[in-house]
Chains A and B, each alone.
Chain A
Amino acid sequence: MPLLDVKHLQTRFYTGEGVVHAVNDVSFHVNDQETVGIVGESGSGKSMTMLSVMRLIPQPPGKITQGEVMFEGQDLLQLSLPAIRRLRGNRISMIFQDPMTSLNPVLTVEKQLTESIRVHMKLDKVAARDRAIELLEHVGIPAARDRIRNYPHQFSGGMRQRVMIAMGLACDPKLLIADEPTTALDVTIQAQIVELVKRLKEELNMAVIWITHDLSLLASLADRILVMYAGQIVESAPLDQLYANPRHPYTLGLLQSIPRLDEAQKAELKPVDGMPPDLMDYPQGCPFAARCPYVIDRCHTEDPTLEPVSDRPNHAVACWVKPNGAAVLETARAIAH
């Protein structure tokens, strides 16, 4: 049984201007101790999906209109508020993009770290403080005993994200959801944070869901990748499989836009042309049709569902065409040389 099993999740935002189709019939699972990457442009629904899983979407205007989120044998969407609060920050943790704004500027790190420890682990003030110092040391913050009294703005960006991670790990979660935790950081710090999470994942035996818009970041990190577009999962495959033979035109586009180190000079950066569809005016047919170089008539009328690629049970794609990605990438490489 997977650790997390999401089925047909659907989230809508009801605004004055119209209904936003933020998450559309999303199904996926995460196994125990597995690392799953979710990749997509901003606005593709990747954060909204995970916020829906945590039941953290602002309500109103947001509403989870459909679906099932099974975690450790219970449906999170059916739980009472106190029950879901007992899981948040305890069995499932979430860390966010910008640690500057995601940490409360007027509370000390100690206060922010110990509050979930005290609530979930029922420790007293002194014990919670010791645990917090231990956590800070664990995520690599020097002089943790002193720094714990500081406020967030007294830390550097990378250190702040380490504090955020320490908060996420406070109660030994089974699942850590990382929502673009490195986007606000510069490249060298990014690599450090990725390494840190990899190390902690091994030590703590937890599963990780890593949300990012940067496919290359997942190369050393993820076991499996989900590609999201316009609130849908359009492709799902093990890491190697996805890199070697993507079958969705959008994934293919993303892969072609990554400059590879070995061909950096002449790398022809080819981002996917066009804009994602307006989620308030959801298109009929495949949402990617308007930008797709492989589009056929059927794409404009029927929306493809996520289906396994014939011979690969772990590889699924939502596309009528399913271009041969391996061949396309090979040709592109040949031209570049």
Chain B
Amino acid sequence: MTRYILKRILSGIFTIWVTTIAVTLLIHLVPGDPVQIMFAQSQSTTPEQIEQIRSQLGLDRPIYEQYFMYMGRILQGDFGTTIRGNQPVLELLLVRLPNTLALALSALLITMLVGVPIGFFAAYKRGTWLDTSLMTGAIIGISIPSFWLGLMLMYVFSIRLGWLPVSGTDFKNLILPAVTLGLANAAAVSRLTRSSMLDVLSQDYMRTARAKGLAETLVLSRHALRNGLINVVNMLGLQFTYMMGGAIVVENVFAWNGIGRLAIQSIFQRDYPTIQGFILIFATVVVVVSIVLDILYVWIDPRIKYS
């Protein structure tokens, strides 16, 4: 087990390392002069100012030198400053990160609470009208764009019924974005759960449990559900990653002040230091949380734990 976890951590570090390289190269892939593009919208920049920015970003040096400079700075917690306003990028991101995490995690909870039981019942009632209608609902569900679902929920619950605020930053404002993101992914999770439960239900050990004369509820709760839930935990990592990706869109629908909203703004403003910082933080969060969830999985699955 220790070997598996070590391997997992090493591959995570590798991913983050590749990200730092990709982020350094990113600015050089921009067609044309990145510094010119960054200031295309502001009229009052002189050529001297542009040259100053260029050397400040290290763009006048060889790429490998830029990379070591950038690495050296981020290892000291210096992610640079925004192009307009000169605010420290790391601080901007870290202030907003808890909001994004709160959104992603509460959405993950909703996804699981809705998707897993639906998939479970569909599998147990395989081939019946219940299965057919649940899975028809699921394929419709995965086809609905999250941003549109968000707007529709907002229309019903905020504008028509007035139960929830349209946007803002307190707990009440988290409800609609989390429900939107959670429901948008619940459909996919219900499909995954169904096929994983179908697999469990067709296993030989289910027959063994029935051959012992156990009541059906016991067969299901002890033998099917436990094995099925282990599979569900196994997909948590990937689902969290999807939540983080989905959060970028949903934050913008509800003006939820997370790093996704900041990222879209900085792409508009061509604020490359912020974009770079965002990609790094996003990748790090995804990698770290995935590793934690994978360790949780290893810990609850005796097949891996004792091997």
Contacts and interface: CB of A to CB of B under 8 A. Distances in A.
Chain A–chain B contact at Cβ < 8 A: yes
Given A101-B205, A103-B208, A115 B226 contact: no
Contacts of A89: 211-214
Interface string B212-231: 11111010001100110010
Given A88-B212, A106-B226, A153 B203 contact: no
A65 interface: no
Contact of A96 (B207, B218, B227, B307): B207
Interface string A99-117: 0011111111001000110
Contacts of B205: 101-105
Interface in B183-229: 203-205, 207-216, 218, 222-223, 226-227
B127 interface: yes
A98 B209 CA distance: 14
A149 to B, nearest CB: 10
B212 A102 contact: no
A38 to B, nearest CB: 17
Given A60-B127, A153-B303, A104 B212 contact: no
Interface string A31-75: 000000000000000000001001010001000000000000000
Contacts of A81: 216
A93 B211 contact: yes
B178 to A, nearest CB: 31
Contacts, number: 84
A96 B303 contact: no
A104 B213 CA distance: 15
A88 B127 CA distance: 27
Contacts of A7: none
A106 B227 contact: yes
B14 interface: no
B306 interface: yes
A90 B212 CA distance: 7
A167 interface: yes
B98 to A, nearest CB: 35
A88 B306 contact: no
Interface residues of A, number: 36
Nearest to A51: B207
B214 A119 contact: yes
A94 B208 CA distance: 8
Given A104-B205, A106-B303, A153-B306, A119 B230 contact: no
Interface residues of B, number: 25
Contact of B208 (A82, A90, A96, A151): A96
Interface string A145-163: 0000011011000000000
A113 to B, nearest CB: 10
Contacts of B216: 81
Contacts of B211: 54, 56, 88-89, 93-94, 96
A164 B207 CA distance: 13
A185 interface: no
B145 interface: no
B306 A151 contact: yes
A81 to B, nearest CB: 8
Interface string B227-240: 10010000000000
B302 interface: yes
Interface in A244-278: none
A263 to B, nearest CB: 38
Contacts of B203: 101
Contacts of A105: 205, 227, 302-303
Interface of B: 127, 203-205, 207-216, 218, 222-223, 226-227, 230, 301-303, 306-307
Given A88-B210, A107-B226, 11 more contacts: A54-B211, A60-B127, A81-B216, A96-B211, A104-B208, A104-B223, A119-B214, A119-B218, A151-B306, A153-B302, A153-B307
The 5 closest A-B pairs by CB, nearest first: A88-B213, A89-B212, A89-B213, A116-B212, A101-B204
